[in-house]
Amino acid sequence: MENLDPIKKMVQEKYAAIALEETQLAKASACCGSCYSETEVYNIMNEEYDHLEGYAPEADLGLGCGLPTEFARIKSGDVVVDLGSGAGNDCFIARHETGPEGRVIGVDFTPAMLEKARQNAAKLGFSNVEFVEGDIEHLPLEDNLADVIVSNCVLNLVPNKEQVFKEIFRTLKPGGHFSISDIVLTGDLPEELRKEAEMYAGCVTGAIQKADYLGLIHQTGFQNLTLQKEKAIHIPDDILGRYLSPELLSEFKRSETGIFSITVFAQKPA
């Protein structure tokens, strides 16, 4: 995709490097999954998928912050859309739930991820799972298409989250719903963290306040909003210490700032 703004371009480059597995450090640059340190690899946000039916290990790059497909109430025959589908992990679990008579569409704007996902789908022999290139702020999908939309640790990477929720609303069928896992904040992050590209690509500094996030869902017109799961995220000191001085690190740990993974459900009015 051409003419991306600087933030989107940076995110695309980071996730292309992860898809191509250029180096261990490139893969670790997304804090949503494994963060590299000199002494240990931390699985900070990622949750284990291997207990879910349809799980394909080769499609799991460890980049999520929840299990939205576990909570998505997908039924046989549903049309499911995954926003920021990566290597296809959530799409393949969704396909197990919707069955061969359903349809699953993954949307991603990183060509290397799309290629990896398509290769995985071909290996699995799925003819009803497709991956399309597109920006989730402007979905390349028709109105009233999906019964269910899922997304895992992606909206925090998008500058205009309000526009994404409008696109979700447009793309869902009346009565359709979404289940989205994402990172949100309570309190403020230090400016030294906010200006770091690595922390943005790592799903931390692009996150907004929890109240604002839930407010956007209400404002868009969704109903029956439910917080399906919430857990606190603790970033290890050796990672924070790359960006914060000892004094600022100590101050941050004393602050009321919280980083949370949430999985939220909401429905388009019927």
Structural domains in the chain (count)? 1
How is residue 184 written in tokens? 């949100």
pLDDT in tens, 121-148: 999 999 999 999 999 999 999 999 999 9
Task: Say which CATH number the domain at 155 has.
Answer: 3.40.50.150
Q: Which domain holds residue 141?
A: 6-267
Question: Within a domain: residue 1?
Answer: no
Question: What is the predicted pLDDT for the residue at 199?
Answer: 81
In a domain, 107, yes or no: yes
Average pLDDT over residues 242-254: 93
Residue 125 lies in a domain: yes
Is 43 a member of any domain? yes
- pLDDT tens digits for range 175-217: 999 999 999 999 999 999 888 877 877 788 899 999 999 999 9
